[in-house]
Structure 1
């Protein structure tokens, strides 16, 4: 029996979801790949115990968030412009809204962005988000409130109704 039985299958089965989480956290495909690879390299060392006793996906998600939050000294990967791109024939309203939302997300603190990603894109409960972030449910509620308020302030044009659909 191999020391890492099941790890390859876990990665193949959950890679896309984990990559999506990593991408939403860092906002850059290459950095997301680096983040996920870094986390998987650490997880493989603990795989036998994790596979037997734990919830590998929740553990991996928490490790992604922790690693992302630890990258504080790294520069932000996204280049932001002072204004959203002009409406061109090649952009539809949904595309522009996604660009504006992505720019607004990039201006959140790392913890606020992590809360928004986990709560609304990963559809985790407040308790699951608190567990992934290693904080209290009250802290998740507070971070969510502040993050949503900041998103509404940064991108008021998305407040009705698009931001509410995307974030809820």
Structure 2
């Protein structure tokens, strides 16, 4: 395959999957303003490995995995930065750093999702927001179907605790 054919094939892949991957990034990070950047970075990485990606059994699953890993890295970096800032301010003499806990009554879905550990959040987002099968979710996360089932179940229980059963059912379109 020459460069023009590969470029056209990649462009078609981009057109078909950009919106979904940007949505995935948004739901995983909770940052609308960052979602397009993460999706764009993922497509750059995919282009650099396009020969390998296009030969994959499920190229879109590969792409979802790239976005998921980039979102995880961003969340970890932001968490480390928040800890450094917090340590800096609390280490200052006379510092009066205050913590304001979330109030369950005003917590929305994004905050509830943000409280879930990353893998559980990713399972819920991929399964319910993107409506992927358990198998496709497992491919995107590089894990087993059993892990997806377990993590999704635990995440839903946590969301029910945080949001209430009715809100969790409305979020996922399920009845428990």
TM-score for both structures, normalised by structure 2:
0.74
Q: Which residue of 1 aligns with 2:7?
A: 4
User: Could you list the runs of 5+ residues in structure 2 that have no partner in the other structure?
Assistant: 80-99
3-state secondary structure, aligned to 2:24: helix
Q: CA deviation at 1:60?
A: 0.7
2:163 counterpart of 1:155? yes
Whether the 8 Å contact between 1:104 and 1:155 is mirrored in structure 2 is yes
Q: What is residue 82 of structure 1 aligned with on the other side?
A: 102
Matched, 1:131 2:130: no
Q: Which residue of 2 aligns with 1:94?
A: none
1:67 Cα deviation from its structure 2 partner = 2.0
Q: TM-score, normalised by structure 1?
A: 0.77
Aligned to 2:119: 111
How far apart are 1:138 and its partner, in Å?
1.7
Q: Which runs of 5+ in 1 are unaligned?
A: 87-98
CA 1:75–1:165 in structure 2 vs 1: closer, same or farther (change >3 Å)?
same
- Does the CA-based 8 Å contact 1:4-1:48 persist in structure 2? no
Q: CA-atom RMSD, angstroms?
A: 2.4
Q: Which of residues 16, 21, 30 in structure 2 aligns to 1:27?
A: 30
How far apart, in 2, do the equivalents of 1:69 and 1:7 lie?
A: 25
What residue in structure 1 maps to residue 89 of structure 2? none
Kindly indicate whether residue 39 of structure 2 is the aligned counterpart of residue 41 of structure 1. no
